[in-house]
Structure 1
């Protein structure tokens, strides 16, 4: 009986010490997050990304909404948040993209947010609506990122918005659209891709259209 009691208190003490150690570690991370050194801040953001509990996620969200923080560190936090399948996070990232008081109209902030929203688990969410809005941006990099991210979501609702861009004068836009259509995998887009193969002069675009059709056909057989 004495041995059982001793074992019980040993376990309780061990759990208590672990909780204390976790609390101290988290406090250290928070202190590093408030550092004036960007590398130290990024390391803190990475540590929070490894923990991924409610507390660490909320800390990352609060960080990207803090206007005075460095945009380079914020983009790392945005990238990490984008890897977590949570509708609440999607809503926050959508706000980051749309609110100039948060993104400072900084192309890098917008680009990273668009990439973060482009995940398959965001299919059918407000992320897709935001990515569709981003297609109207004049900034080429943001526009390309939006196309790529729409492809990554695999959301077929993007197809009517992507097809007109097959006639865009810019090679990178046409290439991104062809690849995105392949990723979405809707067989109704095959005729448009075949037209690319027969009429397009750029061999790389032809090759990508062939790859897209092959992927769509494999997908339809699954």
Structure 2
């Protein structure tokens, strides 16, 4: 059908031109937002780096450390990006404070059979962790003997019942605490990742699946 006489026809390319104008406006607004947000993000990064450097400086009292940690928490509350970064840093820190006690599977004799523990992983507190880690590795053989002796002396029902894993972890941790002369429950100066700080073996994990093999009954 012919268009009614006198009706204005749209100019060729008018729709495409409008879309270009809209696209340019979006780009311009995006550029303005980026220019506004980037200095803020950079400022937060600078504040974070400066805060961590200040925290690492020696000679702080516990009160000063707590004040710095409050500033840290305030920055984390305002920045999801910093929260994600802090979570990753905390995971790496915990990994660095973890070590394997055994260099070979441990066998424990429980009267009716033998328990084999393939791995014992220790998690150290964040206070003076590197020095303690070095000491444990240097004295690993002695510490393993102490743990093995304690487990062999335990009542079999403690290590074979429904709470066996928890009892194993507790017994290993208590034995190492005594052998090392540390006090993980005591409070130590706050660290970047722990407040208050802790010193000693603060957790025991059994990553490999331990097993129990009962002795076979001899024929009469």
The TM tier, using the shorter chain, reads 0.3 to 0.5
**Higher relative contact order (Cα pairs below 8 Å, separated by 6+ residues):** 2
Higher strand share: 2
- TM-score of the superposed pair, with normalisation by structure 1: 0.33
Instruction: Give the structure with higher Rg (CA).
Output: 2
What is the TM-score normalised by the length of structure 2? 0.33
More helix by share: 1
